[in-house]
């Protein structure tokens, strides 16, 4: 693996901050991360943001095939060069924004192992996309800014627990794999990173419409996290008033004076059930219709 700074300089390229380009420059660390993904020779691997190939090379040596989705068209030549150098021919590079990429089209009828040192500015959106497409994912080994990784795994009750934590913990188990210090990247980012393993649950309480509604309820609850739940749910995109939100909370056995960060996933599902039973799941759409 060529040092990222050298590769970029050779092509007179600068790392693009807006694409979260902090390239892993330590081959040992890269190999260690990929090994944690326990890729087998039958696996299809999806890599998000391969950059200059730090993880790609190791993944390709272990997998049946790697599909790597990279937004920055400038890097294609450099990445292909690195793969050729390592004698690798089982990587398909797709130049696209991962947020626009159809994952079904990549997976077809296989389940994928997903890896990625995620661009920090879209990490949460990528994770939400993986949740939506989790039927296609065997497991995911992903690198985040350490602070975000802590938020994802945070238990209810503290400041770190938020919308992303509740959604992820509803449908998966999260395990910390390792920490990666900032000096192992080029250019060096301001903060350290953390690799986590996300294993999606085989069964979840809801699916389809009802699950989408749960995610909406969680979003609404955290939209004004300093307020009591009675007030944050009312006036949110759920389109309900305070007496309806109080009734739903009470029906779910939740004190309406509690705040979003104190509710565990079970309680969010109970609340969703209560709102659903009261026929509140379509309130915002009904209001939008009336406004038209």
The contact set with ligand SAM (CB under 6 A) reads 19-24, 49-52, 54-55, 69-72, 97-99, 117, 119, 122
Q: Residues 268, 217: contact at Cβ < 8 Å?
A: yes
Q: Residues 124, 164: contact at Cβ < 8 Å?
A: yes
Select 68 or 153, whichever has its Cβ closest to ligand SAM: 68
Whole-number minimum distance, CB 286 to ligand SAM, in Å?
Answer: 35
Select 9 or 212, whichever has its Cβ closest to ligand SAM: 9
Burial of 230 (0-12, 13-18, 19+ CB in 10 A): buried
Burial of 202 (0-12, 13-18, 19+ CB in 10 A): exposed
Whole-number minimum distance, CB 117 to ligand SAM, in Å?
Answer: 3
Whole-number minimum distance, CB 209 to ligand SAM, in Å?
Answer: 28
Whole-number minimum distance, CB 66 to ligand SAM, in Å?
Answer: 12
Select 122 or 275, whichever has its Cβ closest to ligand SAM: 122
131 phi/psi in degrees, rounded to 5: -60, -45
Cis peptide bond N-terminal to 27, omega within 30: no
Select 71 or 246, whichever has its Cβ closest to ligand SAM: 71
Select 125 or 201, whichever has its Cβ closest to ligand SAM: 125
Residue number, nearest CB to ligand SAM: 49
Cβ neighbors of 49 (< 8 A, separation 6 or more) are 20, 69, 70, 71, 98, 116, 117, 118, 119
How far apart are the C-alpha atoms of 245 and 105, rounded to whole Å?
41
Percentages helix, strand, coil for the chain (3-state, rounded to 5) are 50, 20, 35
Whole-number minimum distance, CB 260 to ligand SAM, in Å?
Answer: 29
Whole-number minimum distance, CB 115 to ligand SAM, in Å?
Answer: 8
Q: Is residue 171 classed as helix, strand or coil in its secondary structure?
A: helix
State the sign of the Cα–Cα–Cα–Cα dihedral 211, 212, 217, 218.
Answer: positive
Whole-number minimum distance, CB 53 to ligand SAM, in Å?
Answer: 7
Select 12 or 290, whichever has its Cβ closest to ligand SAM: 12
54 phi/psi in degrees, rounded to 5: -55, -45
Select 98 or 275, whichever has its Cβ closest to ligand SAM: 98
């Amino acid at each position: 693996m060529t040092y990222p700074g050298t590769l970029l300089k050779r092509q007179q390229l600068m790392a693009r901050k807006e694409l979260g380009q902090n390239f892993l420059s330590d081959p040992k660390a890269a190999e260690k991360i990929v090994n944690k993904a326990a890729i087998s020779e039958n696996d299809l691997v999806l890599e998000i943001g391969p950059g200059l190939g730090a993880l790609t090379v190791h993944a390709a040596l272990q997998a049946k095939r790697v599909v790597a989705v990279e937004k920055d068209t400038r890097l294609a030549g450099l990445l292909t060069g690195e793969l050729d150098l390592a004698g690798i021919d089982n990587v398909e590079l797709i130049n696209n924004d991962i947020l626009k990429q159809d994952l079904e089209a990549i997976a077809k009828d296989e389940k994928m192992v997903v890896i990625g040192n995620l661009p920090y500015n879209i990490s949460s959106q990528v994770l939400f996309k993986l949740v939506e497409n989790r039927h296609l994912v065997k497991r995911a080994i992903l690198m985040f800014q350490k602070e975000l990784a802590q938020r994802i795994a945070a238990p209810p009750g503290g400041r770190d627990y938020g919308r992303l934590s509740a959604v992820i913990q509803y449908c998966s188990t999260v395990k910390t794999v390792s920490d990666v210090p900032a000096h192992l990247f080029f250019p060096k980012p301001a903060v350290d990173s953390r690799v986590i393993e996300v294993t999606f649950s085989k069964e979840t309480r809801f699916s389809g419409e009802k699950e989408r509604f749960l995610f909406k309820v969680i979003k609404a609850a955290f939209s004004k996290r300093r307020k009591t739940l009675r007030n944050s749910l009312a006036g949110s995109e759920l389109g309900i008033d305070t007496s309806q939100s109080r009734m739903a909370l009470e029906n779910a056995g939740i004190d309406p004076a509690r705040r979003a960060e104190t509710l565990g996933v079970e309680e969010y599902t109970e609340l969703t059930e209560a709102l659903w039973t009261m026929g509140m799941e379509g309130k915002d759409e009904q209001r939008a219709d009336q406004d038209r």
